[in-house]
Homo-oligomer: A and B are copies of this chain.
Amino acid sequence: MACSCNNKPSSLVPAELQQELSDPNHPANLICELCRLFYDLNWVTGTGGGISIRDVEGPNPNLVYIAPSGVQKERIQPWEMFVVDLPDTIVRTPNECPKELTKSYKYKPSACTPLFVSCYTLRDAGACIHTHSQNAVMITILLEHEKEFVINHVEQIKALPRLEYNESTKKVEKVGSMENYEKLVIPIIENTPHEEDLTETLEEAIRNYPGTSAVLVRRHGIYVWGETIWKAKVYNEALDYLLELAVKMKLAGISTVRE
């Protein structure tokens, strides 16, 4: 299992890959750094959640790094990533690594892969984060019969981007930031037994809500994307802050929408 390699000397990693990973801002290193942060926030415990980064500043901006499935997110190592050339060509897997590193553990691509790819292709995202945040799950339970989470009149809403469909480029583009008095609307889709089966409804939600940067999955978690990994992280933090507040408001009998 991946984490048993935690203390293996990195000298077992092929020299070329070692060289590539020597940059602390390499997508594979950032995924590891952020997974440890997200673990401490209880967003990816129990192997839950996932994260992927498109190499937007690298030589091939269509390369996407994705953490593998079913491993302890806070213990993954940079050489354990799957690398996909968009839309769907797997160009490297951790299973190619020396056996000494993997103990013959058979890595599987994240079940989130098709969902991440949807965010990349439909929105030109630079990174996509999926968490099992308790705030995300709890709000979808409190809104059991709603198809949207809506909140307005909270300052933190300003951390989210204002997105608009551009008729000429046929793309959803960032045109600024939201105002704190505006209604932030995040669609809620129903969970499915297999994560990949969420793809269709996720894509539908992304298309139907051109203004959203995230989709909630009922009793499951949230998908958040952004232009870069840092933007995706900031949007995710701001959304989780708003979801935490919204759960408290709902439990106190206060509407999250002030007319």
Which residues from B are CB-within-8-Å of A181? Answer: 193
**Cα–Cα distance between A244 and B133 once the two chains are bound (Å):** 12
Which residues from B are CB-within-8-Å of A230? Answer: 1, 3-4, 72
**Does B244 lie within 8 Å of A155, measured CB to CB?**
no
Q: Size band of the A side of the interface?
A: 35 or more
A122 interface contact, C-beta 8 A: no
**Cα–Cα distance between A240 and B233 once the two chains are bound (Å):** 25
**Does B72 lie within 8 Å of A234, measured CB to CB?**
yes
Which residues from B are CB-within-8-Å of A220? Answer: 154-155, 180
Which residues from B are CB-within-8-Å of A42? Answer: 241
Number of copies: 4
**Does B245 lie within 8 Å of A45, measured CB to CB?**
no
Which residues from B are CB-within-8-Å of A45? Answer: 237-238, 240-241
**Cα–Cα distance between A25 and B8 once the two chains are bound (Å):** 10
Looking at A132, A228, A251, the one whose CB has the most chain B CB atoms below 10 A away is: A132
Interface string of A46-86 (1 = CB under 8 A from B): 11100000000000000000000000100000000000000
A179 interface contact, C-beta 8 A: yes
**Does B132 lie within 8 Å of A155, measured CB to CB?**
yes
A221 interface contact, C-beta 8 A: yes
A153 interface contact, C-beta 8 A: yes
**Does B180 lie within 8 Å of A154, measured CB to CB?**
no
Which residues from B are CB-within-8-Å of A249? Answer: 141
**Which chain A residues have a beta carbon within 8 Å of chain B's beta carbons?**
1, 3-4, 6-7, 24-25, 42, 45-48, 72, 132, 134, 137-138, 141-142, 144, 153-156, 159, 179-181, 191, 193, 217, 219-221, 228, 230-231, 233-235, 237-238, 240-241, 244-245, 248-249, 251-252, 254
List 17 A-B residue pairs with CB atoms under 8 Å apart, sorted by A's residue number.
Answer: A1-B228, A1-B230, A7-B25, A45-B241, A46-B159, A46-B234, A46-B235, A46-B241, A47-B234, A134-B241, A138-B248, A142-B252, A154-B220, A155-B220, A180-B219, A180-B220, A181-B193
Beyond the given A47-B159, A48-B156, please list 14 additional residue pairs across the A-B interface where CB-CB is below 8 A. A1-B228, A4-B230, A45-B238, A47-B234, A48-B159, A141-B254, A144-B254, A154-B220, A155-B191, A180-B193, A180-B219, A180-B220, A181-B193, A251-B252
